[in-house]
Amino acid sequence: MPVFISMLLAAFIFSPIWPLGPNPMPGDPFVIVNKETNEVALINENRVQTVVSAATGKSEDLTPEGLFTVTVKAPDPYYRKKDIPGGDPKNPLGSRWIGFDAENTDGRTYGIHGTNDPSSIGKRISQGCVRLQNEAVESLYDYIPLGTKILITSTSKDFIEIGKEYGAIGE
């Protein structure tokens, strides 16, 4: 009997309906960051809703790849490395922070955020985060709730193909 219970529990935990499972459900918000094209896509309600240009890590390894979960969100985030308050024009995090749990962090190390340097968008220039224009991150912010899955990849596949592969877009 204990083996059956263990198998049942494992099947439930790794099921796509488990909230901490590996993939989103069709229709749920899902974010894809493609480092090859420096673009971010929001998939919601079974389709690609928007695609925006982004900046990613200076080197290939700085922006970690994998499937992560949004764990922290903050309007006008504080930049602790240089003690710059949120809302300050010198703040490199811009107007919004959407933090995720890459490399076993708590969502305060890696994130999708705005920028005070709009000319950096579209380049490989960051220390690992994903930068967007402030207007872009502000428009996405309310559509990306805590718990949203974020896939960071480097691929030639299009966003629809990736969304289908990860279950964010139903067949």
Residues designated as active site: 113, 129
Which strand (E) or helix (H) includes residue 109? none
Looking up tokens 């279950």 gives: 167
Question: By the 8 A CB rule, do 91 and 97 touch?
Answer: no
